[in-house]
Chains A and B, each alone.
Chain A
Amino acid sequence: MADAAATAGAAGSGTRSGSKQSTNPADNYHLARRRTLQVVVSSLLTEAGFESAEKASVETLTEMLQSYISEIGRSAKSYCEHTARTQPTLSDIVVTLVEMGFNVDTLPAYAKRSQRMVITAPPVTNQPVTPKALTAGQNRPHPPHIPSHFPEFPDPHTYIKTPTYREPVSDYQVLREKAASQRRDVERALTRFMAKTGETQSLFKDDVSTFPLIAARPFTIPYLTALLPSELEMQQMEETDSSEQDEQTDTENLPLHISPVRRQGASQGCGEGTAGKVAHPGRQGKKASGGGE
């Protein structure tokens, strides 16, 4: 419901922008949106079995619907920007709805409900001039629950995909080398950053930047940091407890092929702190972004 309404609103705004009905296009736009939303509210009320409604209550419900939709839009935008995109994808909307406490699973059934009322498309004064692109093949028709004034499905060729895989690096030496230098780079960058942003000490009076040492700072309770294992270590301990370490000893070369891959991906994705937690983040990430673009 909300999804449909949002799209409707968006579509409406697109079509109305060039309207000549009013002097002020912005006011005009607001009015039109409002009217559409009122129609939506009214039809929902009718669907729900109301025969009549007071103006004030319709207005209130409209207000609520509007803010709900705006929130979905705002939130979806944030999600999409968070992953460095400009266009929201379906998953952004889904995450948004989940976040807002909406049960997404019920949505398809609701969309296909039988006593559904179809709202007529808002009057379009100016058909937008869409340049006729080269069409290849036949576009998929709208299923019955999608109003016809909605945009058409993309061309069939856009659905064609060719999955690509990078050959997993399996040479042990290279992997170790890579893991080592990666970790070293991360550590170096991190400590340099810390040194740059905080107080430092230096071994050379004339040069403070080549070997910057983060200044020693006394603790109020020094024994706690000294004795308690760090979180990283704790996590590691849990993991090594479950995975049988003993096997590693002599079968060093072959079985290790898998684990370095995993580590590498992990440190890429999440840095030192969560190394090894996500099972296959590399592949997952690839798939997700491939689908989205």
Chain B
Amino acid sequence: MPPTGSDPARMNRKKGDKGFESPRPYKLTHQVVCINNINFQRKSVVGFVELTIFPTVANLNRIKLNSKQCRIYRVRINDLEAAFIYNDPTLEVCHSESKQRNLNYFSNAYAAAVSAVDPDAGNGELCIKVPSELWKHVDELKVLKIHINFSLDQPKGGLHFVVPSVEGSMAERGAHVFSCGYQNSTRFWFPCVDSYSELCTWKLEFTVDAAMVAVSNGDLVETVYTHDMRKKTFHYMLTIPTSASNISLAIGPFEILVDPYMHEVTHFCLPQLLPLLKHTTSYLHEVFEFYEEILTCRYPYSCFKTVFIDEAYVEVAAYASMSIFSTNLLHSAMIIDETPLTRRCLAQSLAQQFFGCFISRMSWSDEWVLKGISGYIYGLWMKKTFGVNEYRHWIKEELDKIVAYELKTGGVLLHPIFGGGKEKDNPAPHPHFSIKHPHTLSWEYYTMFQCKAHLVMRLIENRISMEFMLQVFNKLLSLASTASSQKFQSHMWSQMLVSTSGFLKSISNVSGKDIQPLIKQWVDQSGVVKFYGSFAFNRKRNVLELEIKQDYTSPGTQKYVGPLKVTVQELDGSFNHTLQIEENSLKHDIPCHSKSRRNKKKKIPLMNGEEVDMDLSAMDADSPLLWIRIDPDMAVLRKVDSEQADFMWQYQLRYERDVVAQQEAISALERFPTPASRLALTDVLEQEQCFYRVRMAACFCLAKIANSMVSTWTGPPAMKSLFTRMFCCKTCPNIVKTNNFMSFQSYFLQKTMPVAMALLRDVHNLCPKEVLTFILDLIKYNDNRKNKFSDNYYRAEMIDALANSVTPAVSVNNEVRTLDNLNPDVRLILEEITRFLNMEKLLPSYRHTITVSCLRAIRVLQKNGHVPSDPSLFKSYAEYGHFVDIRIAALEAVVDYTKVDRSYEELQWLLTMVQNDPVPYVRHKILNMLTKNPPFTKSMESPLCNEALVDQLWKLMNSGTSHDWRLRCGAVDLYFTLFGLSRPSCLPLPELGLVLNLKEKKAVLNPTIIPEAIAGNQEAAVNPSSHTQLVGFQNPFSSSQDEEEIDMDTVHDSQAFISHHLNMLERPSTPGLSKYRPANSRSALIPQHSAGCDGTPTTKPQWNMELPRKGTGIHVSVSHLEGKEQPPLEMSVHAAAAAPLSVFGKEPASSKHSEHHHHHHHEHKKKKKKHKHKHKHKHRRDGRERGRGPLAFPSPAGGRSARSPSLSD
């Protein structure tokens, strides 16, 4: 639960724009990261960090940092040993003894756990106690240097090791490691303040094998060999203040290429790929020039590095002065299709260098500004590079995507405000995850978020003009660069952070325009607009009566009020009208300029000034209207359904010059299967001036129309004669010309037409024999020997075409599919697929596009009943060691099989892979595909849906995916798709429907069986603040004597620990080792010791046995119904946890607890004394448990964790 308004860090900063207020009681100025040893064999890392901080409050006694997975050996502050405690509530969100399986409950707990360690709220997993010797020093606000020794063993997230299992040294094997993660994930590989808003300067040192190269942020100052010359240390310096979240690392035997155009840019790739790297990056300097020119600002860092690595987490990841790309983006000069995609990735990452890396954000709710600006300038680059058509097409595509997503799943909110916990204005659009934190977001939502952000930026541009827009960006950048050069004034660094309010203020300063309504509509609110347009022409008045309706009641929609542009093409020309959309006015009268004078032979002027001859015979004789477009500039995030006569769409397709209009016309024409539509589409298809994507879309539309017109269709199958004319030899029309892809436009058309043609069906709903033969001939006569480009994508599409031609098998009841009853056409198809797939083994194609298509085609054959349905082939291709594209295609087939055949075994196989696969992207993708194509859904009965599966998935999202935010959110998405928000229906009903809540002295319906809608309200009703008293019990049992003893033990334990730290090969995933020095003063801390005993999760199951339930004794009496959680109490714990530290420090925990805890302690001590010298190892673990006890740690869900074993171990 988010804290209440009392927490200053979380306050809505919108109004009081007084710069940045740090949520931390100190300012970080410099950090050293030193990794002394990287072991590729064991996949481990050893190193230390040193943070230089300046306290900003006098009584700073605790310092919270972020750290996950790292095992921390030792913490020193100004060379004094410091006690610390490690608690990560996100390791296990809800506790395992709970039988609660309700997603609502999980989402709340997860959001609470994430906020409990959220650096933007001043929290962290690692809490360090400032040694008492330094208190005086702190009170004078003097510098503190925190030195932390840590190691990382087999990291599951954050750092990814790729170690191919071949012979040779690590460098020869191409082993490499790189940092990765979703949003701020740096804490996974070194302790830091993992927030985008805490900037500092950096010194980074990496000692690696002499054959390896370490690439990191900033300038490479020097590389020093060790004495034995077997290793070298790379020293990097980053003097521009940067947040830890923008720090990255890549180590491997990279081949190095200095950019021939810009010497400060260096490219790195894996061995043997240098020629590809040269080609791929040869374009980058142009992107640089473009951005520097439009932003009138130099690239902010002194150098830039691109690293291409295998098994990438995402295709593009931008960090300060360095971007990490997937190696699969590399391509040679022969590859057409990948080239624009890769260039886009490069341009995208470079845009993020300016906005995202150099300029960082104040808080999560300002993320949209950065994503919006980087996406927007990337769009400008696209417009310049690929042309206006491509740009407009892209905008339309993005708009369609966001509209479809919002209408289907609910709104996307760009600027979530969490002031005072008021959620009424923002009814949670996504009930199954919280949007308050990046780490709780569904990946798909985040993708859509970025998409919407840049579209909104474009809307702002429409409003204030591009010139002003660029001025604003320039202003932000120059402010930031001034601030970044202030080496010793770290308070200035907050100028490098952008906030929503700061950004809006710049806009109003620069442009003098008020864009508040626009912001309110698209940024502060979620949802898109849905317009329905229809019209009538009033001949008498010569007026167009346009009716525009809106649907703003469906989920994901909102009401639009304001100007709307409508363009009317009349006989006399094109006219723009701006309508005011208001609450009640639906009808708009638009006067027409021209009388219908179709008899006069006259050229018709178009929007762009061009004048064309048109055949007007199709028109309505009474009306001068050719076509009408609502919101032609896409100035509203909307979906428009407008009604026009078919001839109007046809005119629009033929004569409107805007590609978006043409595409709209094409999709509208699907509904008008007439010869006139056919003709219009064919004409567009043939027209070479027409944008190639429009022509491609026309292919598919033509196929659909042809299918609807099948009984009246005359002539050869659609597109066949056209294709013959364009691509076949003149003397022998059945033979395709030898490939020549010099003209990319015709290449794309040549690729697409057969795919569309294969969708044609005859009266029996079969693919016409003629078409199949045609495609088979294309494959047969395909000859690429004289071509400058590879034909792998073309051939892959030919296989897609074959797959498209497959229709369901005519099957006699339950006949087993064998070779003998194989359809002869299918036999031919199968022959081709077999040959292609086998040839791939001998002469593999680029990115194995052909294998991918073959696998898909085989699945289509299986699904249509021509080939026995069997997942084993796909499973073998899905194994680790195949190229990732192949694996994904194979997995997709398995997912589909799981759904169609309802196979429990395959579902289990997939879920096992989600847990064990070495490649994070594949794990993520499996969940994603299962969510998109689920084996069953919440509203469906399925034999697959059983209790074991619920438990398994629950465990996966609860504790199995704690190392990867993206994966965990993926698991949540899947759980939601399968079971919905409330208790899964396949679970047995809870034993008792009523739960006594003694606290509120009333009985409530057991929340686990409350239907969804009510459950949601229930949550709102639980006001965290009303329960804070729970933790406010006095603790009469805590005594100073107890403390002394505990201290002695822990000191002893930590020594034992240090002396044995090298033997620690067993790896508890919670490296919660604590060192505690006797605190002999400041009694204010004392109560915490007892309170903390259960505020900390532990890795030891026996705690579970020995401690009673939390929630105090009150509960125990009613909850013999083990495992029925009681949300009210749960909430209260969270609330308490999120409260600021100082408050917490004064609140001891409940008496019941501490009593138990002490009891427990004594037991332990006895035991320990016995075995002290015999079992040092065990003893150390005991110590760790205990050691954790004394230091209080506020934890949200952590309240429960004390009792539970962390299953993630």
Which of A's residues lie within 8 Å of B, judged by CB? 172-173, 176-177, 179-181, 184, 187-188, 190-191, 194-195, 201, 203-207, 210-216, 218-230, 232-233, 236-237, 240-241, 243, 245-246, 248-249, 252-253, 256, 259, 263, 275-276
Q: Nearest Cβ distance between residue A242 and chain B, in whole angstroms? A: 11
Contact between chains at A214 and B881 (CB < 8 Å): no
Q: Nearest Cβ distance between residue A182 and chain B, in whole angstroms? A: 11
Report the Cα distance A203→B862, complex, angstroms. 9
Given A204-B817, A249-B740, A221:B787 Cβ within 8 A: no
Interface hits, B343-389 → A, CB 8 Å = none
Does B993 belong to the interface (CB within 8 Å)? no
Partner of B867, one of A190, A203, A236: A203
Interface hits, B175-208 → A, CB 8 Å = none
Which A residue's beta carbon lies closest to that of B874? A216
Residues in A with CB closer than 8 Å to B785 are 236, 263, 275-276
Residues in B with CB closer than 8 Å to A225 are 844, 883
Report the Cα distance A252→B738, complex, angstroms. 9
Does B227 belong to the interface (CB within 8 Å)? no
Report the Cα distance A230→B839, complex, angstroms. 12
Partner of A216, one of B327, B842, B876, B880: B876
Residues in A with CB closer than 8 Å to B742 are 245-246, 249
Contact between chains at A220 and B165 (CB < 8 Å): yes
Q: Nearest Cβ distance between residue B275 and chain A, in whole angstroms? A: 8
Contact between chains at A191 and B842 (CB < 8 Å): yes
Q: Nearest Cβ distance between residue A121 and chain B, in whole angstroms? A: 60
Given A176-B783, A218-B879, A245:B788 Cβ within 8 A: yes
Does B915 belong to the interface (CB within 8 Å)? no
What would 7 more interface pairs be, CB under 8 Å, given A245-B787, A253-B731? A176-B783, A191-B838, A213-B834, A214-B837, A219-B882, A226-B844, A232-B843
Given A194-B842, A203-B873, A237-B788, A218:B729 Cβ within 8 A: no
Report the Cα distance A204→B858, complex, angstroms. 12
Report the Cα distance A186→B301, complex, angstroms. 56
Residues in A with CB closer than 8 Å to B881 are 218-220, 222
Contact between chains at A180 and B780 (CB < 8 Å): yes
Which A residue's beta carbon lies closest to that of B867? A203
Contact between chains at A248 and B738 (CB < 8 Å): yes
Partner of A176, one of B781, B844, B872: B781
Which B residue's beta carbon lies closest to that of A263? B785
Report the Cα distance A256→B737, complex, angstroms. 11
Does B1170 belong to the interface (CB within 8 Å)? no
Which A residue's beta carbon lies closest to that of B729? A252
Residues in B with CB closer than 8 Å to A194 are 838, 841-842
Interface hits, B824-857 → A, CB 8 Å = 830-831, 834-835, 837-839, 841-844, 846-848
Report the Cα distance A190→B840, complex, angstroms. 12
Contact between chains at A228 and B272 (CB < 8 Å): yes
Contact between chains at B838 and A195 (CB < 8 Å): yes
Contact between chains at B781 and A190 (CB < 8 Å): no
Interface hits, B1081-1107 → A, CB 8 Å = none
Which A residue's beta carbon lies closest to that of B843? A230
A-B contact pairs, 11 of them (CB 8 A): A191-B842, A203-B830, A203-B867, A203-B873, A204-B819, A226-B844, A227-B273, A230-B843, A233-B790, A237-B334, A240-B787
Residues in B with CB closer than 8 Å to A236 are 784-785, 787
Does B519 belong to the interface (CB within 8 Å)? no
Contact between chains at A216 and B868 (CB < 8 Å): no
Most chain B CB inside 10 Å of its own CB: which residue of A173, A221, A248, A256:
A221
Partner of A213, one of B838, B868, B880: B838
Which A residue's beta carbon lies closest to that of B741? A245
Report the Cα distance A252→B783, complex, angstroms. 14
Q: Nearest Cβ distance between residue A180 and chain B, in whole angstroms? A: 5
Does B22 belong to the interface (CB within 8 Å)? no
Q: Nearest Cβ distance between residue B270 and chain A, in whole angstroms? A: 7
Report the Cα distance A221→B327, complex, angstroms. 12
Which A residue's beta carbon lies closest to that of B854? A213
Which of B's residues lie within 8 Å of A, judged by CB? 164-166, 174, 270, 272-273, 276, 310, 327-328, 330-334, 729-732, 735, 737-738, 740, 742, 780-781, 783-788, 790, 817-819, 830-831, 834-835, 837-839, 841-844, 846-848, 858, 861, 867-868, 870, 872-873, 876-877, 879-885
Contact between chains at A173 and B731 (CB < 8 Å): yes
Partner of B788, one of A205, A210, A226, A240: A240
Contact between chains at B868 and A226 (CB < 8 Å): no
Residues in A with CB closer than 8 Å to B885 are 226
Report the Cα distance A172→B819, complex, angstroms. 37
Contact between chains at B270 and A245 (CB < 8 Å): no
Given A195-B838, A246-B742, A276-B785, A227:B334 Cβ within 8 A: no
Which B residue's beta carbon lies closest to that of A205? B868
Q: Nearest Cβ distance between residue B608 and chain A, in whole angstroms? A: 31
Contact between chains at A172 and B843 (CB < 8 Å): no
Q: Nearest Cβ distance between residue B188 and chain A, in whole angstroms? A: 24
Partner of A228, one of B276, B328, B858: B276
Report the Cα distance A220→B162, complex, angstroms. 11
Which B residue's beta carbon lies closest to that of A241? B788
Contact between chains at A188 and B835 (CB < 8 Å): yes
Contact between chains at A229 and B846 (CB < 8 Å): yes
Partner of A187, one of B735, B784, B835: B835
Which A residue's beta carbon lies closest to that of B849? A226
Residues in A with CB closer than 8 Å to B843 are 230, 232
Contact between chains at B831 and A211 (CB < 8 Å): yes
Residues in A with CB closer than 8 Å to B738 are 248, 256
Residues in B with CB closer than 8 Å to A179 are 783
Contact between chains at B732 and A172 (CB < 8 Å): yes
Report the Cα distance A194→B328, complex, angstroms. 28
Report the Cα distance A90→B842, complex, angstroms. 40
Across the A-B interface, give the 9 residue pairs with the lowest CB-CB distance, nearest first. Answer: A218-B881, A191-B838, A173-B732, A226-B883, A222-B883, A220-B164, A211-B834, A220-B166, A240-B788
Contact between chains at A226 and B328 (CB < 8 Å): yes
Contact between chains at B790 and A203 (CB < 8 Å): no
Report the Cα distance A264→B168, complex, angstroms. 44
Report the Cα distance A192→B166, complex, angstroms. 29
Which B residue's beta carbon lies closest to that of A184? B780
Q: Nearest Cβ distance between residue A225 and chain B, in whole angstroms? A: 5
Report the Cα distance A195→B839, complex, angstroms. 11
Q: Nearest Cβ distance between residue B844 and chain A, in whole angstroms? A: 5
Contact between chains at B334 and A233 (CB < 8 Å): yes
Q: Nearest Cβ distance between residue B31 and chain A, in whole angstroms? A: 34
Residues in B with CB closer than 8 Å to A188 are 835
Q: Nearest Cβ distance between residue A46 and chain B, in whole angstroms? A: 62
Report the Cα distance A253→B738, complex, angstroms. 11
Contact between chains at A176 and B882 (CB < 8 Å): no
Given A218-B881, A237-B788, A210:B819 Cβ within 8 A: yes
Residues in A with CB closer than 8 Å to B330 are 227
Partner of B781, one of A180, A187, A243: A180
